[in-house]
């Protein structure tokens, strides 16, 4: 890296493009955060 600013930019980019969106989480039944949100936001039947 040329400097710490470039290093920070690369790490932040990695966090937001891979780690937080694609990495599977055991607490989310092995789903990535994006897939977990999709599953949780599906239309759920209303309670009777």
Q: Is there a contact between 30 and 24 (Cβ–Cβ < 8 Å)?
A: yes
Domain boundaries, the chain: 4-40
Q: Is there a contact between 28 and 40 (Cβ–Cβ < 8 Å)?
A: no
pTM: 0.45
Q: Given this model, what pLDDT does residue 33 score?
A: 77
Task: Report how far residue 33's alpha carbon sits from residue 10's, in angstroms, rounded to the nearest whole number.
Answer: 21
Q: Given this model, what pLDDT does residue 8 score?
A: 93
With a cut of 70, say whether residue 47 has pLDDT above it.
no
For residue 2 the two structure tokens come to 């040329």
pLDDT digits (tens, 9 = 90+) for 7-45: 999 988 887 777 666 677 787 788 887 788 888 888 677
């Amino acid at each position: 890296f040329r400097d710490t600013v470039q290093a920070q930019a690369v790490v932040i980019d990695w966090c937001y493009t891979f780690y937080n969106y694609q990495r599977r989480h055991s607490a989310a039944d092995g789903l990535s955060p994006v897939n977990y949100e999709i599953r949780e936001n599906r239309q759920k039947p209303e309670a009777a």
